[in-house]
Amino acid sequence: MTAILALLSLAADLPASDRLCATCHKDIVQRYYGSAQAHGSTMARALYTIDQAAPLLGPKPLTYKLGKYSYTLTGPKYSVTDGATTLDLTLAWAFGQGAAGQTYVYQHQGTWYESRLSFYKETKSLDLTMGAPPGEPRTLIEAAGREMTAKDVTACFGCHTTNSIQSGKVVFEKLQAGIGCQNCHENALKHARTMQPQASLAKFTTEEQSDFCGRCHRTWADIASGGPRGVGNVRFQPYRIANSRCYDAADRRIACTACHDPHGPLEVNAKAYDSSCLNCHSKDKKACSNKQADNCTSCHMPKYEIPGSHHLFTDHQIRIVRPNEKYPN
């Protein structure tokens, strides 16, 4: 009875396997998934079914115009018309929370597509999906979205879901939307059922952790070899931070988890990060030209908008930012 009562305050849409973790790791599960009172990590909800996404979109139809094409999005219904012909589509999945953008994925005649338009929470409206080709689309189908290759489908769902890929293909019946506990804690279900010890992720070196998170956030090597160059790479933290003079592959004080709780929402109060910087810089505090050197990240980790993203990303290349400098990469 007390166990049941204790579980009542957990999010209602918790996947069954992660609800099981809560019987022993309730604080972590609660922090990660959030509750009516507090946000969890966006990672827990990196994918929604289109019905779950509906409240974000609201009941009113959203519209957009691109050259001769007019778009309407109402719940799962997405239609595009060129004035003469209308293409009516039903969206299947919503990727992301919409802070940087919420992008939709749908099937048309057996093929998966990524919507040309995304919803942006900052502007509460539709705009082009980041990376959508410029100019006027040639056909209605092209106007609606981008055809995804089999590789794209596996990659998108691979990074935004749990337990969905088998032999290189997405198994939709098994898919758990969002990044569940087992996505990072491999084989944890076995630990939960049999009480076998669970491998610890706290033993990773800084570099190993960067690569671990970089499976989705992209590793230094991914970006160094494949790009993008320029401000577009500001969202790839493992790359940016490794290029900073603060970075030391063996020093845990500059690991992702020295600043981020992998089980919690993103901390947005700059002051909260000062202690992480001062773990290494306590002695040079006076060397900093700023006399009231609070909120270190507000000067040394500047925010950039990737064009078209309607969102500010934080540059993890910690540095002295010179006036009118070129974006270093």
Name which of residues 264 to 283 contact ligand HEC (CB under 6 A). 265-266, 268, 273-274, 276-281
Min dist CB 48 to ligand HEC, Å, is 9
Query: Binding to ligand HEC by residue 108, rule CB under 6 A?
Result: no
Q: Tell me: does residue 74 bind ligand HEC (CB under 6 A).
A: no
Of 24, 43, 47, 23, whose CA–CA distance to 33 is shortest?
Answer: 43
**Which residue stretch of 2-10, 37-45, 64-72, 137-145 sits at the interface with ligand HEC (rule: CB under 6 A)?**
37-45
Is residue 232 within 8 Å of residue 274, measured between CB atoms?
Answer: no
Q: How open is the CA angle 307-318-294, to the nearest 5 degrees?
A: 105
Amino acid at position 237, single letter: Q
**35-45 burial: b if 16+ Cβ within 10 Å, else e:** eeeeebbbbbb
Q: 39 is written with which tokens?
A: 């946000």
Other Cβ atoms within 10 Å of 304 Cβ, number:
16
Q: Least CB distance from residue 78 to ligand HEC, whole Å?
A: 14
| Choices 1-9, 53-61, 94-102, 163-171 (CB under 6 A): range interacting with ligand HEC | 94-102
Pick 142 or 248: Cβ nearer ligand HEC? 248
Does residue 194 interact with ligand HEC by CB under 6 A?
no
- Comparing CB distances to ligand HEC, the nearer of 143 and 256 is 256
Q: Residue 243 Cβ, how far from ligand HEC at the closest point, in Å?
A: 11
Q: Given the complex with ligand HEC, which of 97 and 137 has the nearer CB atom?
A: 97
Q: Which residues are CB-contacts of 170 (< 8 A; sequence separation ≥ 6)? A: 153, 154, 157, 158, 164
Shortest spacing between CB 14 and ligand HEC, in angstroms: 9
Within 121-140, the residues that bind ligand HEC by CB under 6 A are none
Kindly state whether residue 9 participates in binding ligand HEC, applying the rule CB under 6 A: no
| Token pair in block for residue 237 | 């933290």
Residue 78 in the binding site for ligand HEC (CB under 6 A) = no
Handedness of CA 166, 169, 175, 177 (dihedral sign): positive
Stretch that binds ligand HEC, among 41-49, 62-70, 82-90, 164-172 (CB under 6 A): 41-49
Residue 231 touching ligand HEC (CB under 6 A): no
Residue showing the smallest CB distance to ligand HEC in the complex: 96
Q: Is 103 in the site for ligand HEC (CB under 6 A)?
A: yes
- What lies within 8 Å, CB to CB, of 259 at 6+ separation is 273, 276
CA 44 vs CA 10, 30, 287: distances in Å = 13, 11, 40
* 290: Cα within 13 Å, side-chain hemisphere: 11
Which of residues 298, 307, 325, 328 is near ligand HEC by CB under 6 A? 298
Residue 69 or 157: the one with the smaller Cβ distance to ligand HEC is 157
Stretch of 57-65, 81-89, 168-176, 285-293 contacting ligand HEC, by CB under 6 A: 285-293
19 binds ligand HEC (CB under 6 A): no
Is the sign of the CA dihedral 87, 145, 51, 306 positive or negative?
A: negative
Q: Which stretch binds ligand HEC (CB under 6 A): 70-78, 80-88, 132-140, 232-240?
A: 232-240
Closest CA to 239 of 257, 265, 213, 263: 213
Q: Which is nearer to ligand HEC, 36 or 84 (CB)?
A: 36
